[in-house]
Structure 1
Amino acid sequence: MLFRTRLRRLGLAGVALVTAAAALPSAAVADSGDRHDRHPSGGGLSAVVRYTEHGIPHIVAKDYANLGFGTGWAQAADHVCVLADGFVTVRGERSRHFGPDAAPDGSLSSAKKNLSSDLYFAGVRDARTVEKLLATPAPAGPGRQVKELMRGWAAGYNAWLKQNRITDPACRGADWVRPVSTLDVARRGFAVSVLGGQGRGIEGITAARPPGAAPVAAPDAAATAKAARDLFSPDSAAMGSNAVAFSGATTANRRGLLLGNPHYPWQGGRRFWQSQQTIPGELNVSGASLLGTAVVNIGFNDKVAWSHTVATGVTLNLHQLALDPADPTTYLVDGSPERMRKRTVTVQVKGKEPVTRTQWWTRYGPVVTSLGPSLPLPWSATTAYALNDPNAANLRASDTALAFGKARSTDDMVRALRRTQGLPWINTIAADAQGHSLFTQSQVLPRITDDLAQRCSTPLGKVTYPASGVAVLDGSRTGCAIGSDKDAVQPGIFGPSTMPTLRDALYAENSNDSAWLANADRPLTGYERVFGNLATPRSLRTRGAVQDVAAMADRRGLTVADLQRQQFANRVPAADLAVADAARACPAVLPGDTAACAALAAWDRRADTGSRGALLFDRFWRAFATLPLAEQWKVPFSAADPVNTPNTLNTASPGFAKALTGAVAELRAAGIPLDAPLGAHQFVMRNGKRIPVHGGTESLGVWNKVEPVWNAPGGGYTEVSTGSSHIQAVGWDGGRCPVARTLLTYSQSSNPASPHYSDQTVLFSGERWVTSRFCEKDILRSPQLRIVRVRERQVVSPEATAERITG
């Protein structure tokens, strides 16, 4: 009632939230989750979008379809070109519009060329894979509310296209910007779900061909094991994250605290987008959504806050097939022949004849001949490999996210994970207003137990599984089939009772290593190898993070301000371990080069924009860190002291001198002073303006991770590929409003014409935050409040219906 009263005071009693959204006929509502035509609604959807500082929308609607409508409309307003490009990808139409040889942006497809991407997604389309998942009853399939959100999102996106002129030069006037359907939105979710499984094997799936007459060599076991280990190493991931939850035992007010710092792409379709979603009396959640998603993926409400980190669980496995000697497209199971299924796919190609290729599918999944360029899996006359990806049957991630948005405690979040089981490749870290903390690696993984791997691994699998968690099972025996857990919602995956989980620890932290050291004083053990490793060296980012958060927990009395300080401390753990020894050894390596040695010695060991010498150490360390650990350090790793070992720089290693002299020569050749401030040569350009960027790369161990793109002729690091993205520091003070500070490092819009194209990037550069406006009183007090009533049947521009309200 209070909310409606405030709307009336603003003259908004007739907005879509309360009365203006026409209800669909009951039959249409019942059918709406399964309708996938180009008109995903009856034309009567609407919402209220209230914009506050930095273009952050607070979307209010009366139900899920209308909330999805407002979300799709507002996302299109900020990212229409990026979204449209992604829909071209998941429809399998990139070659038609952009030619076969260009590369997708990598957000939804790992393929190196459009043609391979199209062959895969066109195959998904032709097999009606996503339609079948949508038709699967919950809990194995998506629930009704999520289907309504997707239906509304598609209608909102379409309405924005119809009512607005595109100003972004990336797609202005492009014929590939088209209306979408509910099915298109679901296909996008499917593409994200399989990123860690079939998504890794797109090239190998679409290129698989039966062998010819020439003999084909078997894969080298040692080389394959190394390639698999590298492929699934946290260091090699295109994305990462940090997150920490503190329990009330460590905080000033006995309530929980959460700091989330996901490291996601700064460009393309895997960007985050901020919003608040409200259905009065039903849902009120604020946070960030992956583009094209109708829910808040990471965020907070008035009782809980959560973030995610990319997990170490291996989301695929291989089945080695024993082939019929007379026919390499027939494989044997318990001695009986079984023919592969042909999936013939045709792709339209710009300026050329259509391309038709055949994919080969088995009871285990598609035949795959590689997992990336360094991991070949040759198809010979006797052997082929099939890829099993359980997330190819998982369209439940949005159900999990929606349940998180409604949660009132970390207990509720655990129950939501048990019920929905939808997260494909991420951990969850959470805190609540009651003072509880949570870490859980609840993800959809193939049910590979260590016992099954021991009994059923092929000779190749006996090497790859211990090294990387990639199982290669004997596909010729039904006794080696993946079983099911009783509490799993789909066959062939682990149930929730097996997930590594840590509850109510003083702190629960993850920086993309396995669950083992979520809390160094309460190590998690007993999980299967497919979840991740145990008692092995941690990354420098994990080591530095555990040192930092453990010290914070010991201090007690923590507040949101402490989380903010941790985010931008920009401490370089590699420097704390190595720079003093490097500076001492420098004169012997670079005799007479006092400038280089002085720059190292004087560096403040931070990655701030003003840190002098940071760039020299960065370029040195990137080369040095590629050496084996035994060549980097004198003191080896000890599982009894995993946070502090290995240590003591090995300056006698030949690689040390090579890396240091190479870094000095490189910077001088580029005309970059050895003691230049980091921000002078680590920056991004936005609309002709240079914006300095702080933070550092993975190997340096900086919490505030950024992966900048090196361009020596351009002045150093001139762009960021991935890194700190939607940052949130959240707590509670006992009132109704959470205490939250956020920052979207690359800003809310990808359109250079938008006022919100780089405004938060400037804030990030200056280590400044956005104070979240969650409660009604705070939203209505925004000096930049702008209210837009968005309607499906609207015929005038949104600007004509917008109101600017102050006070």
Structure 2
Amino acid sequence: MRTRLRRLVVTAVALLTAATTLPGAAADERSAGRHEHPSHGGLSAVIRYTEYGIPHILAEDYANLGFGTGWAQAEDQVCTLADGFVTVRGERSRYFGADAVSDLSLSSAATNLSSDLYFQGVRRSGTVERLLAEPAPRGPSRDSEELMRGFAAGYNAWLEQNRITDPACRGAAWVRPVTSLDVAVRGFALSVLGGQGRAVDGITAARPPAGNAAAAPGPDAESAARAARELFAADGADMGSNAVAFGGRTTADGRGLLLGNPHYPWHGGRRFWQSQQTIPGRLDVAGGSLLGSATVSIGHNAHVAWSHTVATGVPLNLHQLALDPADPTVYLVDGRRERMTKRSVTVPVKDGAPVTRTQWWTRYGPVVTSLGASLPLPWTATAAYALNDPNAANLRASDTALGFGRARGTGDVLDSLRRTQGLPWVNTIAADSRGRTLFTQSQVLPRITDELAGRCSTPLGRATYPSSGVAVLDGSRGDCAPGRDRDAVQPGIFGPARMPTLEDAPYAENSNDSAWLANADRPLTGYERVFGTVGTQRSMRTRGAIEDVAAMAGRGGLTVRDLQRQQFADRVPAGDLAAADAARACAALPGGAATDSKGGAVDVREACGVLARWDRTVDTGSRGALLFDRFWRALTRTVPSDRLWKVPFSPAEPVRTPHTLDTAAPGFATALADAVGELRAADIPLDARLGEHQFVVRGGKRIPVGGGTESLGVWNKVEPVWDPAGGGYTEVTTGSSYIQAVGWDGSRCPVARTLLTYSQSADPASRHHADQTRLFSGERWVTSRFCERDIRASPALRVVRVRER
């Protein structure tokens, strides 16, 4: 294998000796004397860059592969990476101040102080070190540990040998070398993002009640159920996704197809970064990695392609504690007293005194006084709430990803999930070259069965569990703790046999609703409520997606080109259902006027024609899309979903219902008047092309952006920021990110088209800062260069040998 690697390296370097770019020789003065060598020295890799700055990393083993990955990520994203490492070291307050808004990429903390208190607690308790010490499969494998060790070394070597040009962190004292533990803690932060990460403020703010303090009122069951439902609703999340796998019976050549369209943040530490990783004879995988991760998260190899969608499973539960009336830091389990564990944490603060706070932990997890911003959980003299997050014992996601990268088919993908059980909050959709498909909601969830919830729910839990899947269990009873499945790798979680799974369907699709309608003709049922719902109304995006992919599967003869067309069809399901009714009702308004929310009369006659002529898409050239978008947002904000449609939802027709807009509903005319008035106030024509007023600015130039918001139901989802003074939607916060359309044609090379919507580099000076964003604007794709002959044929090929000093 080493001989083959050397042969590949020598060949690649010989091809472009004159064009080869070597690492900078000057060391970063700020790192002098402080450089750590988690690799123990001597690591190296070859990085071959092709079009759009995509690196193909070639190494002889996992430590060296991690080294090349850490180096290449730093080359493109050093400031974003460094900012994330400041977060997981618990040092944001030290450098940016305690009260500043925290980086929300790695937790939900509202301030730097809250973030630091949490992550310092993680570091000082040795949580991640204990997980690293667990033997595989409960802990990470040797290969995963070597990747993390190499990643830290590669990142550090890049810092030592290069100067930072990105103004976001050029010359900043907080850009420092990292250790492999820093890389592992970053992985831990991603793992608990849906559990402890949601409750950071509630964990760090928890205080025992003072002796003479009045008892705080407990949470109202109805409002708590609503808050929990909103907290875990996919529509309100900053991450979502679509993915579909087509089986061989639907394709032109009998092989599988996969279209992955994850909706992730366009800024910060949860961005994807694209690469290919190769260890000859052991691993060859391409795709998108979450920043700071040394493995490919969503991608393909020569045999199989996969994507993920954020799942509906609730990865946490609460335990209501019965406290000793004489001491609120003592709780009772089966009549026996147990004292909470104190974790005192001190955080350095810029321009201020250090802050010391105490966190309180129980056998179930940390005491919390809130879950999200709208669900208070008061700690009284007699009751408190503890958070159970089984992903706080899960550092296995990298091994799951490695298993995918080595897979030769969807069966191997499923085997990797069953063996490692490492995915915390996503579904998996996959297709392979033999024409097989897979959907599975294989995620780490607390083992909350419906029977357990029925037997052990508190009054609060009896409201929250049915509506949201958030269980609140009686913590005073030992028999109310989550049980263990025999095939589970850790106590308190569901084993693989309980996971909703669909194999070899003609299509398998998910758009962030539950597993129920992964294929509308083969609905999945029988899973516990904590996984999601059955027989409930689907989101507009799910309905539109199932309509589209079912029609595609029905036509048959599909190719990668059909996947590409689906990604940029930009059909608006809400528009298909409502625009014509809205236009007719608009034309019928007396005098062509409607009253806005401020009580003013607005002439809406022009809007009627614009809505009638609109092509029902959100392409950049679409006229009327912006008007419908602003109208639909206003309408769905003010009119309850059960009043929006004349024909209600029916489980017997879950894709077609509800339908027929109720234009007589209170709020219809007001929403129309508000939208018209809003655009006119911003000096935006009602029939303006969408791309003239939905764009991002890169290098001082506007780049039009197609796609639409969640409530419109568009496959190509974007969540833009409205700035009427700036001309409309002037930035995107989240949406389509690392997109891939993958198939096979019988050769050894997969047929893959990819697109990283926000481009590879965060550095404004990089030529790869906006190049793929312009492709996204023009609905164009990158042709993946996976096989050796294709990499060598790249007209942009640049070969770099990177090594430690």
TM bucket (normalised to shorter chain) is over 0.9
CA contact (8 A) 1:37 1:181 kept: no
- For residue 155 of structure 2, the aligned residue among 149, 154, 157 is 157
Q: What is the distance in 2 between the residues matched to 1:459 and 1:164?
A: 59
User: For residue 27 of structure 2, what is the aligned residue in structure 1?
Assistant: none
CA RMSD between the two structures: 1.5
Which amino acid is the alignment partner of residue 92 of structure 2?
A: R
Q: What is the distance in 2 between the residues matched to 1:376 and 1:664?
A: 39
Secondary structure of the corresponding residue to residue 459 of structure 2:
coil
* Mapping for residues 213-292 of structure 1, pairs under 5 Å: 213-292=213-292
Tell me the CA shift for residue 604 of structure 1: 0.5
User: For residue 199 of structure 1, what is the aligned residue in structure 2?
Assistant: 197
Secondary structure of the corresponding residue to residue 645 of structure 1:
coil
Tell me the CA shift for residue 8 of structure 1: 3.7
User: For residue 42 of structure 2, what is the aligned residue in structure 1?
Assistant: 44
CA contact (8 A) 1:469 1:529 kept: yes
Which amino acid is the alignment partner of residue 87 of structure 2?
A: T
Could you say if the C-alpha distance between residues 776 and 229 of structure 1 is closer, same or farther in structure 2, counting changes exceeding 3 Å? Answer: same
Number of aligned positions between the proteins: 774
Q: What is the distance in 1 between the residues matched to 2:12 and 2:233?
A: 54
User: For residue 313 of structure 1, what is the aligned residue in structure 2?
Assistant: 313
Tell me the CA shift for residue 86 of structure 1: 0.2
User: For residue 641 of structure 2, what is the aligned residue in structure 1?
Assistant: 629
CA contact (8 A) 1:4 1:13 kept: no
CA contact (8 A) 1:343 1:360 kept: yes
User: For residue 757 of structure 2, what is the aligned residue in structure 1?
Assistant: 745
Secondary structure of the corresponding residue to residue 566 of structure 2:
helix
Q: What is the distance in 2 between the residues matched to 1:391 and 1:6?
A: 40
Tell me the CA shift for residue 371 of structure 1: 0.8
Structure 1, residues 262-318: CA drift from partner, whole Å, max 9, x if none? 000000000000000000011000000000000001000000000000000000000
Which amino acid is the alignment partner of residue 621 of structure 1?
A: W
Q: What is the distance in 1 between the residues matched to 2:12 and 2:334?
A: 73
Tell me the CA shift for residue 109 of structure 1: 1.7
Tell me the CA shift for residue 13 of structure 1: 11
* Unaligned 5+ runs, structure 2: 18-33, 594-602
- For residue 655 of structure 1, the aligned residue among 623, 642, 667 is 667
Q: What is the distance in 1 between the residues matched to 2:776 and 2:204?
A: 41
Tell me the CA shift for residue 211 of structure 1: 1.2
Which amino acid is the alignment partner of residue 624 of structure 1?
A: L
Structure 1, residues 302-351: CA drift from partner, whole Å, max 9, x if none? 00000000000000000000011111111111111111111111000000
Indicate yes or no: 2:799 matched with 1:787: yes
User: For residue 21 of structure 1, what is the aligned residue in structure 2?
Assistant: none
| Mean CA deviation greater in 775-784 or 3-12 | 3-12
CA contact (8 A) 1:431 1:437 kept: yes
CA contact (8 A) 1:706 1:724 kept: yes
Could you say if the C-alpha distance between residues 684 and 13 of structure 1 is closer, same or farther in structure 2, counting changes exceeding 3 Å? Answer: closer
Could you say if the C-alpha distance between residues 526 and 37 of structure 1 is closer, same or farther in structure 2, counting changes exceeding 3 Å? Answer: farther
Which amino acid is the alignment partner of residue 718 of structure 2?
A: V
CA contact (8 A) 1:334 1:476 kept: yes
Could you say if the C-alpha distance between residues 5 and 334 of structure 1 is closer, same or farther in structure 2, counting changes exceeding 3 Å? Answer: closer
User: For residue 725 of structure 2, what is the aligned residue in structure 1?
Assistant: 713
User: For residue 87 of structure 1, what is the aligned residue in structure 2?
Assistant: 85
Tell me the CA shift for residue 588 of structure 1: 3.5
Secondary structure of the corresponding residue to residue 348 of structure 1:
strand
Q: What is the distance in 1 between the residues matched to 2:294 and 2:246?
A: 29
Which amino acid is the alignment partner of residue 155 of structure 1?
A: A
User: For residue 479 of structure 1, what is the aligned residue in structure 2?
Assistant: 479
Tell me the CA shift for residue 557 of structure 1: 0.3
Q: What is the distance in 2 between the residues matched to 1:355 and 1:7?
A: 52
Q: What is the distance in 1 between the residues matched to 2:334 and 2:786?
A: 60
Q: What is the distance in 2 between the residues matched to 1:777 and 1:445?
A: 43
Secondary structure of the corresponding residue to residue 385 of structure 1:
strand
CA contact (8 A) 2:4 2:280 kept: no
Could you say if the C-alpha distance between residues 8 and 171 of structure 1 is closer, same or farther in structure 2, counting changes exceeding 3 Å? Answer: closer
Which amino acid is the alignment partner of residue 176 of structure 1?
A: W
Secondary structure of the corresponding residue to residue 77 of structure 1:
helix
Q: What is the distance in 2 between the residues matched to 1:54 and 1:253?
A: 30
Q: What is the distance in 1 between the residues matched to 2:551 and 2:506?
A: 11
User: For residue 703 of structure 2, what is the aligned residue in structure 1?
Assistant: 691
User: For residue 423 of structure 1, what is the aligned residue in structure 2?
Assistant: 423
User: For residue 55 of structure 1, what is the aligned residue in structure 2?
Assistant: 53
TM-score, normalization by structure 1: 0.95
CA contact (8 A) 2:87 2:103 kept: no
Q: What is the distance in 1 between the residues matched to 2:728 and 2:789?
A: 45
Structure 1, residues 71-97: CA drift from partner, whole Å, max 9, x if none? 000000000000000000000000000
Structure 1, residues 409-457: CA drift from partner, whole Å, max 9, x if none? 1000111111000000000000000000000000000000000000000
Indicate yes or no: 2:618 matched with 1:607: yes
CA contact (8 A) 2:5 2:60 kept: no
Tell me the CA shift for residue 687 of structure 1: 1.1
Indicate yes or no: 2:731 matched with 1:733: no
TM-score, normalization by structure 2: 0.95
Secondary structure of the corresponding residue to residue 384 of structure 2:
strand
Q: What is the distance in 2 between the residues matched to 1:60 and 1:2?
A: 11
Structure 1, residues 694-750: CA drift from partner, whole Å, max 9, x if none? 000000000000000111111110000000000000000011000000000000000
User: For residue 186 of structure 2, what is the aligned residue in structure 1?
Assistant: 188
Q: What is the distance in 2 between the residues matched to 1:433 and 1:14?
A: 33
| Mean CA deviation greater in 592-601 or 375-384 | 592-601
Tell me the CA shift for residue 620 of structure 1: 0.6
User: For residue 766 of structure 1, what is the aligned residue in structure 2?
Assistant: 778
Tell me the CA shift for residue 42 of structure 1: 1.9
User: For residue 29 of structure 2, what is the aligned residue in structure 1?
Assistant: none
Tell me the CA shift for residue 593 of structure 1: 3.4
* Unaligned 5+ runs, structure 1: 16-35, 794-807
Could you say if the C-alpha distance between residues 673 and 244 of structure 1 is closer, same or farther in structure 2, counting changes exceeding 3 Å? Answer: same
- For residue 110 of structure 2, the aligned residue among 99, 112, 116 is 112
Q: What is the distance in 1 between the residues matched to 2:11 and 2:158?
A: 28
Secondary structure of the corresponding residue to residue 367 of structure 1:
strand
Q: What is the distance in 2 between the residues matched to 1:460 and 1:695?
A: 40
Give the fraction of aligned pairs with identical amino acids, expressed as a percent.
76
Which amino acid is the alignment partner of residue 233 of structure 2?
A: S
Q: What is the distance in 1 between the residues matched to 2:539 and 2:397?
A: 28
User: For residue 469 of structure 1, what is the aligned residue in structure 2?
Assistant: 469
Could you say if the C-alpha distance between residues 484 and 8 of structure 1 is closer, same or farther in structure 2, counting changes exceeding 3 Å? Answer: same
Q: What is the distance in 1 between the residues matched to 2:678 and 2:341?
A: 54
| Mean CA deviation greater in 560-569 or 326-335 | 326-335
Secondary structure of the corresponding residue to residue 578 of structure 2:
helix
Could you say if the C-alpha distance between residues 586 and 489 of structure 1 is closer, same or farther in structure 2, counting changes exceeding 3 Å? Answer: same
Q: What is the distance in 1 between the residues matched to 2:103 and 2:691?
A: 27
- For residue 593 of structure 1, the aligned residue among 604, 621, 628 is 604
Q: What is the distance in 1 between the residues matched to 2:485 and 2:690?
A: 52
Tell me the CA shift for residue 756 of structure 1: 0.2
Q: What is the distance in 2 between the residues matched to 1:3 and 1:447?
A: 46
Q: What is the distance in 2 between the residues matched to 1:53 and 1:369?
A: 50
Structure 1, residues 536-588: CA drift from partner, whole Å, max 9, x if none? 00000000000000000000000000000000000000000000000000123
Could you say if the C-alpha distance between residues 222 and 11 of structure 1 is closer, same or farther in structure 2, counting changes exceeding 3 Å? Answer: closer
CA contact (8 A) 1:7 1:13 kept: no
* Mapping for residues 487-506 of structure 1, pairs under 5 Å: 487-506=487-506
User: For residue 391 of structure 1, what is the aligned residue in structure 2?
Assistant: 391
Q: What is the distance in 1 between the residues matched to 2:13 and 2:360?
A: 61
Q: What is the distance in 2 between the residues matched to 1:91 and 1:104?
A: 13
Tell me the CA shift for residue 10 of structure 1: 4.6
Q: What is the distance in 1 between the residues matched to 2:307 and 2:481?
A: 34
Tell me the CA shift for residue 105 of structure 1: 2.6
Q: What is the distance in 2 between the residues matched to 1:775 and 1:12?
A: 18
* Mapping for residues 656-675 of structure 1, pairs under 5 Å: 656-675=668-687
User: For residue 447 of structure 2, what is the aligned residue in structure 1?
Assistant: 447
| Mean CA deviation greater in 205-214 or 678-687 | 205-214
Could you say if the C-alpha distance between residues 698 and 604 of structure 1 is closer, same or farther in structure 2, counting changes exceeding 3 Å? Answer: same
Q: What is the distance in 2 between the residues matched to 1:431 and 1:215?
A: 56
Could you say if the C-alpha distance between residues 483 and 342 of structure 1 is closer, same or farther in structure 2, counting changes exceeding 3 Å? Answer: same
